[in-house]
Amino acid sequence: MSNDAIGGATKPLNSVTHLEAAGRGRGLSTLLRITRMNLRHPWQVAFAIGSTLVAVILQLLIPQLLGRAIDQSQTAIGGGVTGAEAEGALWISALLLLAVSALRGLFTMVQNYFAEAVGHHVAYELRLACYEKIQRLSFSFHDQVHSGDLITIGMLDLEGVRMYFSTALVRALLLTMLIGMGAYMLISTDPVLGLLALSFVPFVGWRSSVTQLRLRATWLDLQERFSVLSRVMEENLGGIRVVRAFAAQTYEMLKFDRASKNALDLAHELADIHAPNTSAMTLSYFFAMGLVLWIGGNKLIAGEITVGKLATFLTFMTILQMPVRQIGLIVNAFARASTCGSRLFGLLDQDITIRDAPDARPLKISEGTLRFDNVSFAYPSTENRAIVKNINFEARRGETIAIVGPPGSGKSTMAHLIPRFYDVTGGAITFDGQDIRKVTLATLRKAVAVVQQDAFLFTTTIENNVAYGDPWAKEQRIERASESAQLHNYILGLPAGYETVVGERGISLSGGQRQRLTIARTMMLRPSVVVFDDSTAAIDAATEQRIRAAIRRFAKERVTIIIAHRLSSLMHADQILFIDNGEIVERGTHEELLVKRERYKALYDLQMRSE
């Protein structure tokens, strides 16, 4: 689902701080936006509102029927009618009261069902929209936003938006109709008692407004603290082996306890705001009921009203008791939906910095030549300091380019620029003369495969992990790729073979096995450019040599770029680029660079001496 489907404009928002601040200053517009989303389900909304209207009418009939039954009893006691007639009238009133109560319960059930249905439909759409947006957001966004924040938004904030229709809108509508229609009926019966019965409404409205403002700000702070709690838990679970290895359970418990206590303290603050205001609103209700009993009792003694009429007023107020108690819940729901919706839409309105140009065309591959033309790049957070500066080189089909240099020199950044994980800030990268910024991302990333140093595996079978880039690949292709990555024999030795399920993040495999599996995943595809970003660092030297031999065969029909720290991994390259501080300081073949006796030669001597 695209962002257009949820009716939002695109705005730049590139850090977790901005995500947290997005909840402020957008209250009314956020609620209107959520309301429009609910109205996209007209049948369910119509059934929910229609059932609410019928339920209110039936609920207002109950005091009338009860008052009528009491007056009939009074008449029978006074001897105005025969016993049989009085009993018959009471039976009719009782049956009517029972039927109306049953119908009210039925329509209330229908109202609750369809109100919840609307909320769940909206939540389903938002869940897909959030997940789809996260899939498309640029690497620069994910560099700055913690995944725990995204999980909090996709679960807690989304739940706050889901409950808006049923908990806030429908209940507010029910209460408004109940008070509005009831006020007309009561005031038209007796203006004084009617006004007294409704005298608590202005006070409740005032307290509700004050409470909403305080609750909204507090809910935002609470959601932020839940985000911190999610981050602490996620990092602990992701690094549980490190925690155990360093016996840091006590420290982690203290860290989690601090984050949890911060959330608990604010939850207490919420309760401190919510409980006194709800109690004050309920007290005003009982005070109004006391006034009705006092004034109504005097009117009854004076013969101005009947017992049934007084009972009607009191019953109506009793019916109002539960909705009045729920005003705090309604206000809370509005405040929570406003806050949660602001954060949620803050994510959905994110600007996607890496996207297809308006005139983007599919990448057309002919000669298979990759070219860096005076390429420079700086991350958004380091705009004043370029990570890559004035890089120039050309690689033709069948050629292997090796990139070596000290840590932090910009090697991996160069690899990430080729598939447009980031856009260059200077110069251009072209493929067969086509600027990669002017071709579609889908065709570009199909042509470029990056084997990253961090070997991420999914919790599924080995076969599915290898075939991730082409789920419909035949078994022979999967096995050939695994054999090239020196993994096939190991897999055959497993009890379930290729059907063996890999644990979360591949923790059931060694580091070298995980890297070999990701290499197999790439070699199964047919990319025009393949980048190995230090992807054999965890593999022993003998196995690496066999993999390199397979890669050389694999490289004959494509451009191959190898980034490595071990020079033995790249000595066979057609051209070696030595990068330092983001610039090419040396280039040539292995033999040429050794003759120069500069930085490459110094690194070679150091590694050979160590070996």
DSSP-assigned beta bridge partners for residue 377: 388
Q: Is 306 helix (H, G, I), strand (E, B) or coil?
A: coil
Query: Angle 336-338-342 (CA atoms, 0-180°, nearest 5)?
Result: 115
* DSSP for residue 241: H
Mean pLDDT, to the nearest integer, of 450-456? 79
Q: What is the pLDDT of residues 30-49, one digit of tens each?
A: 889 999 999 999 999 999 99
Q: Under CATH, which architecture does the 9-348 domain have?
A: Up-down Bundle (1.20)
> In the predicted model, is pLDDT for residue 121 greater than 50?
yes
Is the pLDDT higher at 471 or at 71? 471
Q: Between these two residues, 10 and 516, which has the higher pLDDT value?
A: 516
pLDDT of residue 249: 81
Q: What are phi and psi of 541, to 5 degrees?
A: -60, -40
Task: Quick: pLDDT tens for 236-268.
Answer: 877 787 777 777 788 888 888 888 888 888 778
Residue that has been written with the tokens 């009893």 in this structure: 73
* Model pLDDT for residues 281-325, shown as the tens digit of each residue: 778 888 888 888 898 888 888 888 888 888 888 888 888 777 766
CATH 1.20.1560.10 range(s) for the chain read 9-348
pLDDT tier for residue 101 given thresholds of 50, 70 and 90: confident
% residues pLDDT > 70 (the chain): 88
What is d(CA 12, CA 20) in angstroms, rounded to the nearest whole number? 14
Q: β-pairing, 559-563 with 529-533? A: parallel
Name the band, by pLDDT with cuts 50, 70 and 90, for residue 383: low
Residue 563 burial (C-beta neighbours within 10 Å; 0-12, 13-18, 19+): buried
Cα(558)–Cα(398) distance, integer angstroms: 5
Average pLDDT over residues 446-460: 82
Q: CB within 8 A of 388, min separation 6: which ones? A: 375, 376, 377, 410, 413, 414, 417, 582
For the record, the structure tokens of 263 come out as: 């959330």
Q: What is residue 77's predicted lDDT score, i.e. its pLDDT?
A: 58
Question: How far is it, in rounded angstroms, from Cα 341 to Cα 366?
Answer: 49
Q: Are strands 559-563 and 400-404 parallel, antiparallel or unpaired?
A: parallel
Where are the alpha helices (H) located in 153-248, listed in sequence order?
Answer: 158-162, 170-189, 191-197, 200-238, 240-245
Q: What is the pLDDT of residue 431?
A: 92
Tell me how far CA of residue 490 lies from CA of 468, 513, 520, in angstroms: 19, 9, 13
Q: Which superfamily, per CATH, for 370-610?
A: P-loop containing nucleotide triphosphate hydrolases (3.40.50.300)
Whether 21 shows a pLDDT value over 60: the answer reads no
Q: Does the pLDDT at position 603 exceed 80? A: yes
Mean pLDDT of the chain: 81
The pLDDT value recorded for residue 575 is: 92
Q: Find the mean pLDDT for residues 158-166.
A: 89
Q: With bands split at pLDDT 50, 70 and 90, how would you rate the model's confidence at 70?
A: confident
Selection from 46-50, 77-81, 202-206, 478-482 with the highest mean pLDDT: 46-50
What CA–CA distance (Å, rounded) separates 250 from 17? 29
Residues of the chain with CATH 3.40.50.300: 370-610
Asked whether the beta carbons of 436 and 407 are under 8 A apart, the reply is: no
User: Residue 332 contacts by C-beta under 8 Å, 6 or more apart in sequence?
Assistant: 215, 274
Mean pLDDT of 588-598: 88
* pLDDT tens sequence across 415-435: 899 999 889 999 999 999 999
The Cα 254–Cα 263 span in angstroms is 14
Q: What is the pLDDT of residue 10?
A: 40
pTM, whole model, 2 decimals?
A: 0.74
Tokens standing for 365?
A: 């591959």
pLDDT at 371 exceeding the cut of 90: yes
Distances, alpha carbon 418 to alpha carbons 370, 471, 533, in Å: 9, 24, 12
Which of the four pLDDT bands, split at 50, 70 and 90, describes residue 8? very low
Burial category of 459 from C-beta neighbours within 10 Å (exposed 0-12, middle 13-18, buried 19 and up):
middle
